[in-house]
Amino acid sequence: MSLEWLTQTVGSLTPFWEGAQPNVVPLAKLPRLVRATLWIPRPTVDVEVVLRRLEGQNQWVRVKKWVLFHHESASPGKLFVFGLGIDDAKIMR
């Protein structure tokens, strides 16, 4: 019943931007992400800098597709939690 309601509700939404086509996707079809934690000893490091460096040092993985779940200062450095695709997680092990 809630799936029907959600499908109808999403189908009746005004597009968020021109060309957008929102739809409902079954949970089984969503890509699974593996959680990866990274601690960097420098507290001033920015997320974009971290991603650029990871991409430069790990050209065989798709860093641009990673999702940042969380980041926080963790004295004296910074803690990052990313979501990686399963294939990238296997390579990074």
For the chain, give every domain's residue range: 2-92
**Residue labelled with tokens 């969503």:** 30
pLDDT per residue as tens digits for the range 16-42: 788 888 888 888 888 889 999 999 998
At 89 the pLDDT is: 92
**Average pLDDT of span 44-51:** 86
Q: Are strands 33-40 and 67-74 parallel, antiparallel or unpaired?
A: unpaired
Please provide the average confidence, as pLDDT, over all residues in the chain. 88
At 1 the pLDDT is: 62
What secondary structure, in 3-state letters, does the chain show?
CHHHHHHHHHHCCCCCCCCCCCCCCCHHHCCCEEEEEEEECCCCCCHHHHHHHHHHHCCCCCHHHCEEEEEEEECCEEEEEEEEEHHHHHHHC
Is residue 45 within 8 A of residue 79, CB to CB? The reply is: no
